[in-house]
Amino acid sequence: MSPLNPYFLQGSSNEQRLVQDIINEQLKMYGQEIVYMPRQFISEKKIIKEVVVSKFDDSFIIEAYISNFNGFGGQGDILSKFGVKTSDELTLIISKERYEDFISPFLIGDQDLKIATRPQEGDLIYLPLDNGLFEIKYVEGKVPFYQLNNLYVYELRCEIFRYEDELIDTGIDEVDRTVQDFGYIQTINMIKDTALGAKARANLASIQKSVQYIDLINDGTGYLSTPKIKITKAPVGGIDATAVAIMTSKTGRTGNSIDKILIVNPGAGYTQIPSVTIVGQSGSGAIATAIIASGTLGIVTITSGGSEYSSAPIVSITPAPVGGVNATAEAVITVTGIVTAIRYTNAGAGYTVRPTITLSSPIGISTGDFIFNEVVKGVSSGTTAYVKDWDADTRALKVSIVGSNFAIGELVVGAAATHKIYSIDTFDEYDSYAENIEIEDEADDIIDFSQKNPFGNY
C-alpha cells in the first residue's frame, strides 16, 4: 500500500495549476513592480568569449517579491583607500509562469541573447522602490524544491549594478537616467557660439639693436627634457633677451631634438652679436647663433586671452616699412583654450611705429543636439563613441565606449548635430571619493618614467 495520501493526486495538473495561481496572486499582492532588462551581447572576443559590448534596450514590467526583510544584503558601503564601494545585494522572487508567458515570447529568436527561455545571469533589474539598478548574479530555479512535482518560481540573487561599457536605452526615463550621468569615461568640450578672440599689443624694442631671430645650426639629439636657451646679457642699461626651445622627435634618434627656438623677449641695447648657449641635463649637439637688428619689436602683452581655442590662433603682424623685415610670431594656448603668450620666430627689423597684432578667432561649428546613446564620429580621426549626456548650454558632451582618440579641433558628427572640439577631459570622476588623479600625481613625483631606467641612475 502506498504511504502517500490516497485522497490527493500528488502532482496532478489541476493541483499544480492551483499552486501556481496562488503564487501569482501572492506576488501581485505583496510584491513590487520591477523592470526586467535582458542583456544582449553585441560583441565578444573570439577566443575566450569575453563580452566587449553588451546592450539593454528591451524592458519588461513584472511583479516580484523582495525576500530581504531587514534591508539589503551584502556588506553594504565599504570605505577603503580606493574609495567607497557599495555591495548591496537583493533577492527577488518572480513567477516562472509569468516570465514564460510575458517575457520569453518576445526574446525567442533574438540572436544577441544567450538564453531566452529563463532569466539569465547578467540581466538587469530596475527597482523603482529604491531607484536602483541591480545585476542578476545567480538564478535559482528549484526553490521551493518540486512541490507537487513542479517548479513555480525563479529566485533572482542580485547585486548592485556596476556600470562598465554597457548601452542602456530602454526608453523609460527613470531607468535611463540612472546611468546617464555616470556612464561615461570622457567629456568632450565643444567650441561655443560665445567664444572670444584673443588680443595682444607689441611695442618697439628700441632704436638700438635687439635679437631679431635665432638661427638653429644643429638641432642636437638625445634630449629627454627641454634644454634652456641662454643668451649673453645685454650691456649695462640694456634689456636681456630670452628665448625658449621647441622640441620634436625624429625617427632613428634617441630622445628629442630641437625643432626651433622662439624669442620671448628680443631684449635691447646689444652692440655686438650675443652668444647662444644650449644647456640641457641630457642630450647634446645643438648649436645656434643669434642675429641682431635695429627696429625690432619688443615683448608682446596679451590684453585678452580669448576663449575656447582648439588650436593656437594665427598671429598676423603689420608689415615693416620698405626696406625692413616683417615680424612673425606664434601664439601659446593653455589646455582650456586661452592664449597666454606670443613668441617671435622673427622679431622683425626696421619698424619705426608700433605695429598692430591680430589673432584669428576661434573657429567652430555648432549646430544641433546630440542624442542619448547615439553613435558619434570624429571626422578627421574616425573615432566613434556612444553619447551618454549632452549639455547644449555648456557644450559638454559625455561619451563612453570610445573607439580610439578624438583630436582637438576636429568635428564630431551625430545624427542631427555637428560640433567642434576645443578640449577633452579623460579623467571624469563620478565617484566623489575617488583619488585616482592624486595617486597618479604622487607616483610621478616618486618615479620619473621619462628616463630609460626609472628605477636607477642610468
Q: 385-407: per-residue pLDDT in tens?
A: 888 889 988 889 988 878 888 98
pLDDT of residue 147: 86
Q: What percent of the chain has pLDDT over 70?
A: 85
pLDDT of residue 432: 47
Task: Return the top range by mean pLDDT from 43-57, 110-124, 314-328.
Answer: 314-328
Nearest to 307 by CA among 394, 237, 229: 394
125 with 156: CB under 8 angstroms?
yes
pLDDT of residue 263: 95
Return mean pLDDT, the chain: 84
Q: Does residue 399 or residue 176 have the better pLDDT?
A: 399
Nearest to 125 by CA among 184, 65, 38, 41: 38
Residue-wise pLDDT for 231-265, tens only, equals: 999 999 899 999 999 999 887 777 899 999 999 99
160 with 86: CB under 8 angstroms?
yes
Task: Please return the burial class of 13, using the count of CB atoms within 10 Å of its CB with bins 0-12, 13-18 and 19+.
Answer: exposed
pLDDT of residue 292: 94
The neighbouring-strand residues paired with 376 are 385
What are the C-alpha distances in Å from 106 to residues 28, 100, 127? Answer: 22, 10, 21
pLDDT of residue 253: 76
Nearest to 399 by CA among 390, 408, 407, 388: 388
Q: Which residue has the cell 549639455?
A: 391
Cβ atoms within 10 Å of 346's Cβ, excluding its own: 21
Contacts of 130 (CB under 8 A, 6+ apart): none
Asked if pLDDT for residue 342 goes beyond 80, the answer is: yes
38 with 123: CB under 8 angstroms?
yes
Asked if pLDDT for residue 443 goes beyond 70, the answer is: no
pLDDT of residue 430: 46
Q: In whole angstroms, what is the distance from residue 398 CA to residue 76 CA?
A: 29
Residue-wise pLDDT for 188-227, tens only, equals: 988 887 778 889 998 886 678 999 999 999 999 899 889 9
The answer to which of 55-64, 112-121, 159-168 has the lowest mean pLDDT is 159-168
Task: Please return the burial class of 89, using the count of CB atoms within 10 Å of its CB with bins 0-12, 13-18 and 19+.
Answer: middle
Q: In whole angstroms, what is the distance from residue 420 CA to residue 412 CA?
A: 6
Asked if pLDDT for residue 447 goes beyond 70, the answer is: no
pTM score, whole prediction: 0.53
Asked if pLDDT for residue 36 goes beyond 70, the answer is: yes
pLDDT of residue 346: 96
Task: Return the top range by mean pLDDT from 31-40, 41-50, 168-177, 364-373.
Answer: 31-40
Asked if pLDDT for residue 434 goes beyond 60, the answer is: no
Residue-wise pLDDT for 276-317, tens only, equals: 999 988 888 999 999 999 999 998 999 999 888 878 999 999
Of the pLDDT bands very low, low, confident and very high (cuts 50, 70, 90), residue 49 is low
Residues 141-164, mean pLDDT to the nearest whole number: 89
Nearest to 285 by CA among 258, 252, 259: 258
Asked if pLDDT for residue 433 goes beyond 50, the answer is: no
List the chain domain ranges: 13-177, 186-193+364-425, 199-359
- Determine the longest span between alpha carbons in the chain, in angstroms: 126
pLDDT of residue 378: 92
176 with 124: CB under 8 angstroms?
no
* Residue positions counted in the chain: 458
Residues 316-338, mean pLDDT to the nearest whole number: 91
Of the pLDDT bands very low, low, confident and very high (cuts 50, 70, 90), residue 60 is very high
Asked if pLDDT for residue 136 goes beyond 80, the answer is: yes
What are the C-alpha distances in Å from 156 to residues 55, 64, 117, 122? Answer: 20, 10, 15, 11
Residue-wise pLDDT for 93-107, tens only, equals: 999 999 999 999 998
Write out the three cell numbers for 275: 652668444
Cis, peptide link before residue 144, omega less than 30° from 0: yes
Helix (H, G, I), strand (E, B) or coil at 409: coil
Q: In whole angstroms, what is the distance from residue 169 CA to residue 149 CA?
A: 40
